[in-house]
Amino acid sequence: MSTVAAQFVGSGGAFTVYPATDTVAISVPEIDNTTTNGTTGSLQVVLWYTSIPYSGGAISGYKVASIPYDNVLGPGQYFVPASFTEAYSRPPDGTWYPTLALEEYDGSTGSYEIINWLNYQTPEYVGAVPISFQGSASFNSVGDSVSIAIPEIVNSTATGTTGSIEVVLWATSSPYTGSGPINGYQTATVTYQSTLGPGQYFDPFTTTTGYTPPPNGDPYYTLALEEFDGTSDVIEGYLNFSAPTTPTTPTGPATPTLPPTPSHLVKTFSDPEADYTVKYVGGGVADVTPNGGTETTVSGYEVLQFSDKPYFIESGDNANIARLYSAALDRVPDLNGLFSWEDIYANNVGAAAKAAGVYQSLAETSGGYAGSLSIADGFVDSPEFIAKYGSLSNTAFVTQLYANVLDRAPDAAGLASWLNLMTPGNSSGTTYTQGMVLVGFAESPENISKTSSWLVDMSRSG
């Protein structure tokens, strides 16, 4: 017996890991038996983490979750898209490339073989993401309050988003050496309101907060940078003070100062989006009401991250990039991937190109991706696009965009119109690249309407 040509069809494959419960929620796309006379063997879908992107053949890595299917597929049969929550086997800490593999049992080998797979554009970082202090610190305690000058905090990784971050002022009986947990007294804690994405940082700042004096004596002080890795707080960096600061006369209660925030703000909610009502008010403000609960007003957040999906509130430029992402890859953007493209656009596309409109800024100006590609061409050249669709002719490319954006095959007139723009070009003599055509589909009324369920474009919504 050999394997039968079953494959993933359509969008899907998104997953969310819940470290606290060692589970992972996976959205599996439709699975089709594309043959006319063969029945599959037993099927399973496996989420793999590998050290390099998987490209076919034998796979070497960690099997972090597995979904067995109870039935086989006869000729032309299919499994509808479905969501599963499965046990999660955590791999070692580090950067991993996820692959969702469709595997079929081959009786001739006595093992499961990978017959189709989906690679993810953004690597996953497992464990506490390495972060560090950059610069010096100081503190001064005054009775039951303390002023702490916290240095810059940097996430220097290219792929990992941190867990929640705290800075803790410890008092200990001997200097902390950096080995293991700190044994002492937590005298003050500063909690940051946001996580740090790849390459992001918190600026240095000084805050005044509550202070719990340690027992009498001459303690040593350490400022510890602590991150929650999904199960516990991990010390990622520390600064020892050469001598304690002498307490002075109390001056009254402290006035807390909020820590700085990174450029991409994410507000996390613990339940699925269906358990809330979200109403965009305008000006970056949204009202979020849990079913049967009390309304909460949130302001200034780029993403409302529910347990099952994100809801984006974007500026005009960033909304254009989010729609471009969705049109190219036929899915809602993942946070790190979208933030990365937004940063490329913000840092590499000039003000004149941005003012000239979406074609100029997204498809006709170098975004610095892979050397000199535009943002739109960067999507077309991305590993995920190539893995999904391969290298497409103009006709196949336009046909694929009709499927991604309009969920249908192209009509003859529409297809001919787009192909004429690509060869010989429009009436002004401009020959459209695939990137320009992608922008045209992304900014079409159909795509703007399609993406409105998960994307607020502040330039259009007030």
168-184: per-residue pLDDT in tens?
999 998 889 888 889 99
Q: How far apart are CA 16 and CA 310, in angstroms?
A: 11
Residue 1 lies in a domain: no
**Using CA atoms, how far apart are residues 100 and 31, in angstroms rounded to an integer?**
12
pLDDT beyond 90 at 156: no
Residue 249 within any structural domain of the chain: no
**Does residue 253 sit within a domain?**
no
For residues 143 and 14, membership in a common domain is answered with: no
Q: Is the pLDDT of residue 307 over 50?
A: yes
Are 409 and 286 in the same domain? Answer: yes
Q: Which amino acid is at 439?
A: V
Q: Are residues 324 and 226 located together in one domain of the fold?
A: no
Q: Does one domain contain both 338 and 353? A: yes
Residue of 428, 451, 166, 427 whose CA lies nearest to 330:
451
Name the pTM for this structure.
0.48
Q: CA of 169: how far to CAs of 233, 244, 246, in Å?
A: 14, 11, 15
Residue 154's nearest CA partner among 127, 130, 135, 131 is 131
Q: Which residues lie across from 186 on neighbouring strands? A: 170
User: Do the domain assignments include residue 292?
Assistant: yes
Q: Are residues 98 and 159 in the same domain?
A: no
User: Looking at per-residue confidence, does 270 or 182 come out higher?
Assistant: 182
- Which residues, listed in sequence order, are joined to residue 104 by a DSSP beta bridge? 43, 113
- 119 and 137 fall within a common domain: no
* Of 124, 152, 180, the domain-final residue: 124
Token pair for 236: 């990622």
Same domain, 88 and 119: yes
Residue 328: CB partners within 8 Å, gap ≥ 6? 376, 379, 380, 382, 385, 404, 438, 442
423 and 454 assigned to the same domain: yes
Count of domains for the chain:
3
Give Cβ neighbours of residue 216 (< 8 Å, ≥ 6 apart): none
State how far Cα 369 lies from the chain centre.
19
Residue 248: pLDDT above 50?
A: no
Chain segment 43-64, per-residue pLDDT in tens:
999 999 999 999 999 999 999 9
Q: How far separated are the first and last CA of the chain, in Å rounded?
A: 61
The domain in which residue 277 lies consists of: 266-461
- Residue 451 makes CB contacts below 8 A (sequence gap 6+) with 322, 323, 326
pLDDT at 255: 42
Same domain, 143 and 84: no
Give burial (CB, 10 Å; 0-12/13-18/19+) of 189.
middle
| pLDDT, position 372 | 75
> Band of the pLDDT at 120, cuts 50, 70, 90?
confident
Same domain membership, residue 145 and residue 100: no
Distance CA 360, CA 433 (A): 12
CATH number at residue 18: 2.60.40
pLDDT of residue 117: 93
Structural domain contains residue 217: yes
Confidence check: pLDDT of 298 > 70: yes
Alpha-carbon gap, residue 304 to 202, rounded angstroms: 20
Query: Model confidence at 86, in pLDDT bands (50, 70, 90)?
Result: very high
Interstrand relation of 205-210 and 145-150 (parallel, antiparallel or unpaired): antiparallel
Q: What CA–CA distance (Å, rounded) separates 196 from 414?
A: 44
Q: Which residues are 47's β-sheet partners?
A: 65, 100
Mean pLDDT to the nearest integer, 132-159: 85
Residue 250 pLDDT greater than 50, yes or no? no
On the question of pLDDT at 263 being above 70, the answer is no
Q: What is the pLDDT of residues 174-226, one digit of tens each?
A: 889 888 889 999 999 988 877 887 778 888 888 888 888 888 777 889 999 99
User: DSSP letters along 390-426, please?
Assistant: -S--HHHHHHHHIIIIISSPPPHHHHHHHHHHHTT--
Query: Cα separations (Å) of 402 from 104, 308, 328, 418, 447?
Result: 31, 27, 11, 11, 10
In this predicted structure, the answer to whether residue 152 has a pLDDT above a threshold of 90 is no
- The tokens for 347 are 């840092």
Question: Residues 324, 454: one domain?
Answer: yes
In a domain, 225, yes or no: yes
Q: What does residue 44 show for φ and ψ, rounded to 5 degrees? A: -145, 150
Return d(Cα 13, Cα 23) in angstroms, integer.
16
Q: Are residues 303 and 372 in the same domain?
A: yes
Residue 159 lies in a domain: yes
Q: Please indicate, yes or no, if residue 258 is contained in any of the structural domains.
A: no
Rounded CA separation 220/206 (Å): 21
